[in-house]
Amino acid sequence: MTSYDAQAALDAIHHRQQQTRDEYVRHASSGTYGLVAALSVFATGSSIDLPSPWSLVTRLVGAGLIVGGLVVQRRQARVHKRTSVAGALFSLWVAAVVIAVFVASVIAARLAHLPIPSVPAAAVAAVVTLVATYATRPLVKRIAKRDDQG
């Protein structure tokens, strides 16, 4: 094997690694899954102040969306990676931001004397979830690249 052949093989490996990383980021930041996540945030968040039978129904719908979305996303992924500490911490950070936005929105809705404050607050949190799906894509890509390097 010549040095040119060795370099060509290394370049091919790096190219495949980049393709794998790009596919992982594309799938993880998919708009479809972002929409499912936003709908599940809306359903579970709006259930807080709803009357008795509707509260249970929206909680079940939210839980079904969460579980169904995770199962479908996992099964349709072309690339599977082990979750890294940085990836898990990033996911927890995004969830904490969405929860903080939801709580702040509930407080604002209660101060505005809205009849069911959790519904508009859940809508705001759902929009934040959808925006976060697209806005965090570069960070997800950076985390995926860092995980691959070491």
C-alpha span between 58 and 35 (Å, rounded): 17
Predicted local distance difference test score (pLDDT) of residue 29: 75
Task: Give residue 109's pLDDT.
Answer: 94
Q: Which domain holds residue 50?
A: 3-149
Q: Which of 2-11, 67-76, 114-123 has the highest mean pLDDT?
A: 114-123
Mean pLDDT, the chain, as a whole number? 87
Q: What CA–CA distance (Å, rounded) separates 29 from 1?
A: 41
Whole-number Å distance between alpha carbons of 39 and 41:
5
Count of domains in the chain?
1
Task: Judge whether residue 92 has pLDDT over 70.
Answer: yes
pLDDT tens digits, one per residue of 32-56: 888 999 999 999 999 988 888 888 9
Length of the chain: 150
Residue 57 token pair? 């129904």
Scanning the structure block, which residue is given the tokens 């839980």?
A: 63
Comparing 148 with 51, the larger pLDDT belongs to: 51
